[in-house]
Amino acid sequence: MPEERRAAERRTKLRRTTDRKVTTGSRLDVILDVTRRLMSITDLDALLRDMAEATTQLLDSDRATIFIVDRERNEIWSRVALGTGSDEIRQAVGVGIAGTVAETGEAINIPDAYRDPRFNPEHDKRSGYRTRSLLTFPMKGQNSRVIGVFQVVNKHGRERFTEEDEETLASLGASAAVAVENAQLVAEQRRLWETLIETLAVTIDARDQQTAGHSQRVTRYAEVIGRGMGLAGIELEKLRAAALLHDYGKIAVRDEFLQKPGKLDDAEFAYMKAHAEKTGEFLAHLEFPHDMREVPIIAAQHHERMDGKGYPRGLPAERILRGARIVAAADVFDALTAPRYYKPAYTVEKTLELMDGMAGDHLDPEVVAAVHRLLKDLEWTLESLKHTWPKPSQEVAPAAEGALSERDQAAVKASDG
């Protein structure tokens, strides 16, 4: 299910819960309900949005903003919704009302913001909104450390926020803090994961200057094709990871084969072909998250063919995963459009012509059709990636005419990239 639809459903559920009249007796139930839902959100932005909405409704107020404390920069930050998206706002810890609460860990509950010298009326001036009552409350994590700040604006039907409102925020804050720390941890792990696989891809591309930047380009092309074919969310993430790592097995191919100009003999070619199997073998050592388990399989299948004559397994078409079919087309697209020592950079027209000839026996015709459909996007992406193409080098002798055309054909037949 697309993330936007999930978020919309969450908000509807949230509204249903908080629309109930919040009596003292039911308050705890409502908070429990809300926090249980917050706990299931691992995307920090989505979490902050939902938390702000829940807080606004629970406290019967105009709006709420959730700030997060950034200890490294000694700042607090939040995202504010704009007409076209959102923007990050930041301010120093100790400055302004929210900054003061982040520093002291003490709530500030004021009936008239304009009477408090710490209040900054700039935002009101720009938006034409009038802030009156303001409850700014610390969100405390482990060891009572302030990890965030709730700021709730304009209590409905009363002059100021009540003690009960503060109690509500105290209860909500305890579990909200756990949800925030959890989401931060997930975000950190995700960043670690993404940079790890990008580093692996850079490592493999660095081994052979002739294929410099190849994995990165294949990934970008695969993303364009995948998105155009309707992949989203985790499916797109799997495709991205598999594309980045598809040639990882080349780490086990000896330099003299990897960098040999001209034609490889049969034994050398067989050795070179082992890289696809090796990709699967090496990646099998990584503990992929449950929903990413297919990544090594997709990556290892990138030289399989629709007619069953591919390698390493010679799988029949029905066993080749869709992600692998997309990576295969992106791989060929880059092998043809980028220069290699045995061939120049082909024009997009020539590339398409060659790919059309490969549709059916080598490549999935549906993916080739998508390449046609998405040509504008692919061309635009190609332009933005030209600077990553291998540099012409004097060290590598140009291949002899005969070898050139044979390798050329090999590129078309098996796309050795």
Q: Please report, as ranges, the residues that interact with Fe ion according to CB under 5 A.
A: 247, 331, 417
Tell me the C-alpha distance between 329 and 302, whole Å: 9
Cis peptide before 312 (omega within 30 of 0): yes
Tell me the C-alpha distance between 408 and 383, whole Å: 23
Name the residue whose CB lies closest to Fe ion. 417
Residue 349, CA distances (Å) to 101, 175, 203, 330, 363 in order: 62, 58, 32, 15, 17
Tell me the C-alpha distance between 386 and 364, whole Å: 26
Distance in Å, CB of 378 to Fe ion, minimum: 16
Distance in Å, CB of 251 to Fe ion, minimum: 12
Neighbours of 116 (CB within 10 A): 14
CB nearer to Fe ion: pick between 247 and 364:
247
Distance in Å, CB of 123 to Fe ion, minimum: 51
How far from each other are the two terminal CA atoms of the chain, in whole angstroms? 34
168 Ramachandran zone, left/alpha/beta (phi>0; psi -120 to 50):
alpha
Distance in Å, CB of 238 to Fe ion, minimum: 17
CB nearer to Fe ion: pick between 139 and 225:
225
Residue 46, CA distances (Å) to 186, 193, 201, 365, 368 in order: 13, 21, 30, 38, 36
Distance in Å, CB of 248 to Fe ion, minimum: 9
CB nearer to Fe ion: pick between 247 and 408:
247
Catalytic residues, by residue number, are 250
Alpha helices in 208-294 (DSSP H): 214-228, 233-245, 255-258, 266-283
**Of 133, 59, 135, 52, which is closest to residue 86 (Cα–Cα)?**
52
- Positive or negative torsion for Cα 8, 9, 11, 15: positive
Instruction: Please compute, for residue 335, the number of CA atoms within 13 A of its CA located in the half-sphere on the CB side.
Output: 22
CB nearer to Fe ion: pick between 53 and 247:
247
Distance in Å, CB of 121 to Fe ion, minimum: 58
Q: In the numeric block, which tokens belong to residue 177?
A: 């803090």
Q: In the numeric block, which tokens belong to residue 245?
A: 């790592």
CB nearer to Fe ion: pick between 165 and 304:
304
CB nearer to Fe ion: pick between 304 and 331:
331
CB nearer to Fe ion: pick between 75 and 331:
331
